[in-house]
Structure 1
Amino acid sequence: MPSHVLVTGADGNIGGALVDRLTASGVMVTALGLTFSAPTAAIRTITADAANEGAVADALEGVDAVVHLAAIAHPGLAPAREVFVRNTSATFTVLDRAGAAGIDRIVVAGSINAFGVPMNHHDVLPAYFPLDEHMPVDHDDAYSLSKWTDEYTARWAASRWGVDVLTLRLPLVKNRETLVQANRELLANEAEIARLGREGWSYLVLDDAIEAIVRGLVAPFTGARVALLAAETTRLPIATETLLDRYAHGVERRKRFPGRSSLVDTTSARELLGWTPRHSLDVDPELVPEVTR
């Protein structure tokens, strides 16, 4: 393990949990975030935007690895230009300054939305299932475009500075209790059930996301790599093949999906990190609206 890690976005859902996990393992953490509304176990905190070159350079002092989580996390949280510019400038700044400082390992929080289809406002579906890192892209929202651009920034950093960068394409990530509540709301919303088929009704319990990030800090790889993460089941108590028949009829299926099998191919994460999701949601079929049964 690295001895000292910079975590950007350390004030967020994943960031706070990661800081706790690293410090509990004896790793020193510098935490960079826009605000810190709760105490942190980090040895040092820096309140700044991750696109601020000076602040990032200061934060990198004494650091030997970086986890970059800072981002505007949804296209609806700010105007489109702000979402794209702030996200991409933060990623460029962190990767560029880390590379210049001689850091050789960075893990970046990417998104399952990087290929553009899930948040596209047109009536589009993925080219095939299961989703993988090679999906054809179809962008029309600034957030998804920013996450796709970040993956190319990682390639640039690997070439320019020789830094090894792992981008993890994350689905919805929350702790179990929050996911259970989110599912209750989802199961009452037929239109949202249909829309979320574009990302395979995927999710990931927070502990599994943290485990993948930590493994990414030590995994034996070089260059810029991308890996999808997801739990081993969908969010819904309905057979996956039934969901596809109903909401994605005609989309190519490259394998069979028995039971509630995930529609996300996590082979890259398993092979690269030795990672397997340990947690999944059991959902009460009685919560499912009659129209989807």
Structure 2
Amino acid sequence: MSLDPRRVLVTGAGGRIGRAVLALLADRGIGATALIRSESDHDAVSSLGADRVRAGDAGDPATVDAAITDADAVIHLAARPSPNEGTHVEVFSENTRATYVVLDAAARHGIRRASIASSYAVGGLPFATKPLAVPYVPLDAAAVLQPTDPYALAKRTDELTADMFARRDGMSVVAIRLPFVGSGDDKLAAQADRLAEDPAAGASDLWSYLDTRDAARAMFAGLHAALPGAHVVYVAAPDVLSPLDTDALLDAHHPGVPRRHRFPGRQVPIDLAPAERLLGFRAEHTWSWER
């Protein structure tokens, strides 16, 4: 899995992470087919290096079959990004359908490498409809999931879908559990200010975050898994998006949560080692509080 693909189908290419993926592929000289939801994104994704652009629904088999032609890898990002982006039925059904359609098309076209966007929210806490507790820290992929919302449930279903295609068709599929993602000059800056003012607002996310550029790198790294099969990994910046030390944050906001070890300084309380072992991924961009 060490060789780069020749062409990658990128679904959800018009979104924040999708555009960063297109820029990364262009930098590496890799052909990109951008699947966008709206034709209004056409010029923007073309300017980022996508030499083929298709507009349509990632949940439509005919659209995906047309877009996937000549690709030898898939980065799947298309989804409604929260349980509030439509009705609960729309969020669950559209997100899970798109993942199935994209991986099914990949399998039928003989593609054996795919990276799909899962989410830290799969654990259930960020959009919980009832009080939930983090099982333990550092959080890892073995922790019990507690979905009470359609978005978390859809992401869990996506991971199981990836597992099926890996087992049935011999694909390598990596589900990347992404945390809060943003760029330092806009969305991430606003979140940093919010959590500095109110640390409790980041408790359900364990104050985790990832720069958009690193999110793109993680999705691309998912195409180069060291082992075959289906895998789930958490990725995040190595530090918390808070000026406070991690142990102080945990003492204040997760006092009853089992702590397998202490966390020096502002170390994020998530196990990032599996992503480094499997994908060679480590975040390169961290938030600076000296602005």
Contact 2:195 2:202 (C-alpha < 8 Å) held by counterparts: no
Equivalences for 1:229-248 in 2 at 5 Å? 229-248=235-254
> Does the alignment pair 1:39 with 2:48?
no
Given the two structures, how large is their TM-score scaled by the length of structure 2? 0.93
Deviations 1:23-43 (A, max 9, x none): 221111110010243422211
What's the CA shift for 1:283?
Answer: 2.5
Tell me if 1:275 matches 2:281.
yes
- Could you tell me which residue of structure 2 aligns to residue 227 of structure 1? 233
> Secondary structure at 2:44's aligned position in 1?
coil
2:22 matched residue in structure 1: 19
What amino acid is aligned across from residue 111 of structure 1 in structure 2? S
Q: Shift of the alpha carbon at 1:113?
A: 1.0
Cα deviations by residue, 1:37-71 (Å, 9 ceiling, x for unpaired) = 34222111111110000000111111100000000
Q: Distance in 1 between matches of 2:195 and 2:56?
A: 35
Match of 2:216 among 210, 217, 220: 210
1:143-170 superposed Cα distances (whole Å, 9 cap, x missing partner): 0110011000000111221111011000
Structure 2 unmatched ranges of 5 or more: none
Structure 2 residue identity aligned to 1:203: Y
TM-score (ref. length: structure 1): 0.93
Farther off after superposition, 92-101 or 30-39: 30-39
Other-structure match for 2:92: 84
Within 5 Å, give how 1:248-287 maps onto structure 2: 248-283=254-289
- Of 132, 138, 141 in structure 2, the residue corresponding to residue 130 of structure 1 is 138
Aligned counterpart for 2:115 among listed residues 82, 102, 107: 107
Instruction: Answer yes or no: is the 8 Å Cα contact 1:117–1:137 preserved in 2.
Output: no
Select which of 145, 149, 156 maps to 2:153. 145
Match of 2:175 among 156, 167, 172: 167
Measured after TM superposition, the shift of residue 80 of structure 1 is: 0.5
Q: Which residue of 1 aligns with 2:80?
A: 72
Alignment pair present for 1:8 and 2:20: no
Q: Which amino acid aligns with 1:140?
A: T
What is the match of residue 195 of structure 2? 186
Cα deviation, 1:68-99, whole Å, max 9, x if unaligned, reads 00000011111111000000000000001111
Q: Is there any run of 5+ residues in structure 1 with no aligned partner, and where?
A: 286-293
Q: Aligned Cα RMSD in Å?
A: 1.4
